[in-house]
Amino acid sequence: MVHFLICSLVLWCYTARARIWNNTATGSIIFEEAVSLPNLRPNAGNPPPGVTQAQLLANLEDVHVQRLAYMDQAGVDYMVLSCASPCVQGVSDPVEAETLATGANNDLAALISNNTLRFGAFAALAMHNATAAGIELRRAVTQLGFLGALVNDYQQSGADNGKTYLPDPQYDAFWSVVEELDVPVYFHPRSAIAQVIALDYFHSTWIEGAPHQFAVMLSNHIVGLCANGVFDRFPKLKVIVGHLGERIPSDFWRIDEMLARKVGTGMPMNKTFSSYWKTNIYETTSGNFATDLLDFHTSQIGAGQILYSVDYPFVMMEQGQEWVEGLQMGPLEKWNFIKGNAIQLLGLDR
Ligand SMILES: *[C@@H]1O[C@H](CO)[C@@H](O)[C@H](O)[C@H]1NC(C)=O
Ligand SMILES: *[C@@H]1O[C@H](CO)[C@@H](O)[C@H](O)[C@H]1NC(C)=O
Ligand SMILES: *[C@@H]1O[C@H](CO)[C@@H](O)[C@H](O)[C@H]1NC(C)=O
Ligand SMILES: *[C@@H]1O[C@H](CO)[C@@H](O)[C@H](O)[C@H]1NC(C)=O
């Protein structure tokens, strides 16, 4: 009883209950890492060099054997798993999507329950109903110990598999829960629906998916979050964008310049577009180990907003480790990049 009273009053109780994970001096934390779950056939895409399509699928489904062996070899202390794209965002029916999300989160929690020293998870969410999405996120964080959510771009919906985007004010009910829980939401790309492929990708089907279409479509979504004032209404939100920010920080000058011309047209964004990338938006290096770009983005948004991740099994952890080892950074800078920033952003220290 005394312990309970002290616990509810002072901070050290937080420390006492803090998450226990495999925190070595030099290891990394990576968190755009996909897992495939029963009922959710991912769009497996193309395997990395030296990996067959069958191995890629096996790697997606495995957690405790091959994946863990690669983690040990590549010095990965801790990995946050998420359901492989498009996951629930590919389910048009709202009831089916909600059932699938709850089941996926329970399955993922059970799958990693015997090794939370090495694995954490982001929740899968049905984004048909903002209130329901907030309820499931709260359950995943407070009851399953999840570290946030990962959404695969837009929610496919309706009889025509149309698209729903999160900047819509109907999602404010969701964002208020995210802000209250103080967890990040990762925005991951997804495959295009048939109508979009027919209009925009018929001329060159090779550019669908990771080579180009992922970044084009997801960057629409992210720029829209800013322009539609989501970060003005919820100034403490934390959003993560992979693949070195889906190219957006490379284009700040032009986006800032051209959006400034829309001020006074009813646009609810109250700050400069690029400013949200210093306060609310974080980017990871998943599947984009471009050193020049990393340096340029660091100059644009600051080292505190950029975090290491791999995109396993579409990219191999070994390739990431080789790249990290060759980066010209001081020891503290490198530690922050591969781990320190992630401890803060994911709340692993609380
Ligand atoms: C912690 O992670 C390192 C990789 O950084 C690994 O070699 C080590 O075996 C892990 N320790 C435990 C107890 O899992
Ligand atoms: C967790 O369970 C899986 C599946 O039974 C098993 O392969 C793995 O070795 C277990 N891990 C630990 C750390 O006990
Ligand atoms: C959205 O979900 C909430 C909470 O489950 C529910 O009360 C509400 O009726 C749902 N709205 C619609 C339009 O289905
Ligand atoms: C943005 O600015 C407008 C105009 O000054 C103001 O009416 C609105 O409340 C502001 N939005 C937020 C979220 O502060």
Per-residue pLDDT tens for 223-271?
999 999 999 999 999 999 999 999 999 999 999 999 999 999 999 999 9
251: exposed, middle or buried (Cβ count in 10 Å: 0-12, 13-18, 19+): middle
DSSP 30: E
Q: Catalytic site residue 311?
A: yes
Tens of pLDDT, residue by residue over 133-161, are 999 999 999 999 999 999 999 999 998 88
Nearest CA to ligand 1 atom 5: 75
CB of residue 285 inside a 6 A radius of ligand 3:
no
Please answer whether residues 285 and 269 qualify as being in contact, where contact means their C-beta atoms are separated by less than 8 angstroms. no
Return the residue whose CA atom lies nearest to atom 1 of ligand 4: 270
Task: Give the per-residue pLDDT at 6.
Answer: 41
**SS3 call for 232:** helix
**Residue 17: its pLDDT value, please?**
64
CA distance 264 to 221: 22
The C-alpha angle 164, 167, 169, rounded to 5 degrees, equals 95
Ligand 3 center from residue 91 Cα (angstroms):
17
**Ligand with the closest atom to the CA of 22:** 1
Task: Give the tens place of pLDDT for each residue, 156-203.
Answer: 999 888 888 877 888 999 999 999 999 999 999 999 999 999 999 999
By C-alpha distance, which of 224, 237, 235 is closest to 273?
Answer: 224
- Asked whether 306 and 298 are in contact (CB, 8 A), the reply is yes
Indicate the helix (H) or strand (E) that contains 152: strand 149-152
**Mean pLDDT along residues 97-121:** 97
Q: Is the pTM of this model over 0.75?
A: yes
**Is 69 near ligand 2, meaning CB less than 6 Å away?**
no
pLDDT of res. 15: 44
- pLDDT value for 13: 42
Structure tokens at 87: 């996951």
How far, in Å, CA of 346 to CA of 80, rounded? 9
CB atoms < 10 A from the CB of 124, how many? 29
Among all ligands shown, which has an atom nearest to the Cα of 266? 4
* Ligand 3 midpoint to CA 179 (Å): 20
At the fourth CATH level, which superfamily is domain 20-346?
Metal-dependent hydrolases (3.20.20.140)
Could you give the dihedral angle defined by the CA atoms of residues 228, 232, 235 and 240, in that order, rounded to the nearest 10 degrees? 20
| Whole-number pLDDT of residue 7 | 42
> Domain coordinates of the chain in residue numbers?
20-346
Q: Give residue 163 CA to ligand 2 midpoint distance, Å.
A: 39
